[in-house]
Amino acid sequence: VEFANDTVCKLRCNRTNTTQNCPQDHSALGKRVSYCPGHEAEAWAWADMLSLGLLLSAANLSLDTETQHWIHKAPLRYWGLTFGLQVDYTNADSAEFWTWPFGPKLMYIYRPRQLSLQKATQTYTVNVPPSFPSNGDIRVVPKQSGIYILPEGQGHILTFTWPHALTAVVLSVGGLGIASMIVETVLVRLYSKLRSLRHVSILYHLYSSNTSPSEAEIRDVVVDAHMAPAEKVAFLRRLHGQIQEHCEQQQLELGSAAGGSSS
């Protein structure tokens, strides 16, 4: 059951009848956060049982909510209401696809939503004349308000086909290629022009290869980044210090390892 605030609850499978088990049609959506209350909704092997209170809650409705109608103000249980119940039979939920066991799963999704009463005024109240008034001088007209439900069914069934799969792969590869081209030809060059983000362009060029860059390559990258002379010198000094610190650390580790093995 899908609520108006996009949260979903799962129907518990009723297995009191041991001769029949609930089919996969009643499995939960992956985005569901909890189970529906057991006394309000159950999934049987032959039907789904939903209470009216659960449907009203899913539609964000309460019979005790006071509403203004013309000059009178009264709860919805006095005026009555109309809501639509959309039932979707589908296996197209991507979140459910990645729940174990993996694969598409058939399910029913119930979406109750309130409808405008002005479009169906004859559905929310019925005036019934009394069959026998207790007093002949007093005429009593009881007001019986009801809940009118308009069901609507639809289905979305997805199947695997090789043409669609190849199309999806080609589109994905093309999208990645376009994204890579935008990063390399637009963003990196844009960052190299901005003083506060110039280091992004430098680091991108330094770490875009699998091999460590040489000093000449680093110097070329720094020159290409249009750095000021003072910034170039400071950058190269910091880089040289980091390289020296890394080499000294490696020598210490090798020395300690050799000393441990000799002892």
Q: What is the mean pLDDT of the chain?
A: 70
Which whole number is the average pLDDT over 2-14? Answer: 68
Choose the final residue of a domain: 128, 156, 184: 156
| Number of helices and strands in the chain (H, E) | 8, 12
Note whether residue 210 is domain-resident. yes
Between 59-68, 109-118, 197-206, 222-231, the lowest mean confidence (pLDDT) is in: 222-231
Same domain, 144 and 167: no
Which whole number is the average pLDDT over 248-262? Answer: 63
Same domain, 151 and 223: no
Same domain, 53 and 130: yes
Note whether residue 260 is domain-resident. no
Same domain, 225 and 107: no
Find out whether 57 and 83 touch, Cβ atoms under 8 Å.
Answer: no
Same domain, 38 and 146: yes
Same domain, 138 and 51: yes
pLDDT at 257: 58
Res. 124: pLDDT tops 50? no
Choose the final residue of a domain: 126, 156, 186: 156
pLDDT at 92: 82
Per-residue 3-state assignment (H helix, E strand, C coil) for 62-128: CCCCEEEECCEEEEHHHHCEEEEEEEEEECCCHHHHCCCCCCCCCEEEEEEEECCHHHHHHHCEEEC
Same domain, 151 and 67: yes
Domain around 209 = 162-243
Same domain, 149 and 183: no
Note whether residue 70 is domain-resident. yes
Nearest 5°: the CA angle 215, 220, 226 is 135
**pLDDT per position as a tens digit, 40-64:** 677 776 777 788 888 888 888 888 8
**Count of the separate structural domains present in the chain:** 2
Same domain, 75 and 90: yes
Note whether residue 1 is domain-resident. no
Note whether residue 125 is domain-resident. yes
Which of 19-33, 149-163, 207-221 is the most confident on average?
Answer: 149-163
Same domain, 63 and 124: yes
User: Is pLDDT larger for residue 31 or for residue 194?
Assistant: 194
Note whether residue 116 is domain-resident. yes
Classify residue 112 as exposed, middle or buried by CB count within 10 Å of its CB (0-12, 13-18, 19+): buried
**pLDDT per position as a tens digit, 66-88:** 776 666 777 877 777 888 888 88
Whether pTM > 0.75 for this model: the answer is: no
Question: pLDDT class for 219, splitting at 50, 70, 90?
Answer: low
Question: pLDDT class for 222, splitting at 50, 70, 90?
Answer: low
Same domain, 96 and 188: no
Same domain, 120 and 43: yes
Note whether residue 19 is domain-resident. yes
Note whether residue 71 is domain-resident. yes
pLDDT at 137: 61
User: Is pLDDT larger for residue 109 or for residue 16?
Assistant: 109
Choose the final residue of a domain: 156, 180, 207: 156
Q: Tell me the angle at which helices 215-224 and 198-206 cross, rounded to the nearest 10 degrees.
A: 150
**pLDDT per position as a tens digit, 158-212:** 888 899 889 999 999 999 999 988 988 888 888 878 877 777 777 777 776 666 6
The Cα-based distances of 29 to 3, 95, 96, 105, 117 in angstroms read 13, 7, 5, 9, 31
